[in-house]
Amino acid sequence: MRIGELATRTGLSISAIRYYQRRGLVPSRQVGSGWQRFGDEAVGRLIIITLAKDCGFSLDEISVLLDALYAPASPAATWQAMGEAKLAELDSQIARLHQMRSLLTSALDQCHLDPDRRQVIATALDWAGASSQRAQPARTRTAGAPGVREK
């Protein structure tokens, strides 16, 4: 089949298929007319690439997965190990996102407090802004400038 038909069958753009070709993930064969032709294996590979990308695998990781899948030995061990590593990575990202959400929610809650109360809470939580404000002495500015504090 030609690349346009492959694109239609897989739902991918022609440029994406060509990119995967350049990366060595999808082989093609040239025929006498100069047109590239793809077999049914290309459809399968592109479906695997799409699934693996949706699961968060990088193209380098997908290359390893495809190599294992089409190797004469059983690919199960490679898929199992890489799948478990990806799950651990996703769990770590989820935990980090929950932490970020909690910090952002807490920070937004502080926006509704009066300034003195915000400073007390920020200091108690040892937020970076509170720590740096406590550590820096008041600066002396030139008299007559806006917001000047004279010592």
Convert the pLDDT of each residue in 88-103 to its tens digit: 999 999 999 999 898 8
User: How confident is the model at residue 128, as a pLDDT?
Assistant: 54
pTM above 0.75, yes or no: no
Residue 148 confidence (pLDDT) above 50: no
Spatial distance between the Cα atoms of 109 and 116, rounded to a whole number of angstroms: 14
Residue 107 confidence (pLDDT) above 80: no
- DSSP string of 12-46, one letter each residue: --HHHHHHHHHTTSS--EE-TTS-EE--HHHHHHH
Percent of the chain with pLDDT over 90: 45
User: How confident is the model at residue 76, as a pLDDT?
Assistant: 85
Taking the CB of residue 45, how many other CB atoms lie within 10 A of it? 21
Residue 113 confidence (pLDDT) above 70: no
Q: What is the DSSP letter of 144?
A: T
Could you give the count of Cα atoms lying within 13 Å of 26 in the half-sphere of its Cβ? 30
- Residues in CB range of 31: below 8 A, 6 or more apart: 37
| 28-67 tens-digit pLDDT | 776 666 778 898 889 999 999 999 999 999 999 999 999 9
Taking the CB of residue 36, how many other CB atoms lie within 10 A of it? 18
Q: What is the DSSP letter of 129?
A: H
- Residues in CB range of 30: below 8 A, 6 or more apart: 36, 37
| 16-25 tens-digit pLDDT | 999 999 999 9
User: How confident is the model at residue 142, as a pLDDT?
Assistant: 44
Residue 108 confidence (pLDDT) above 70: yes
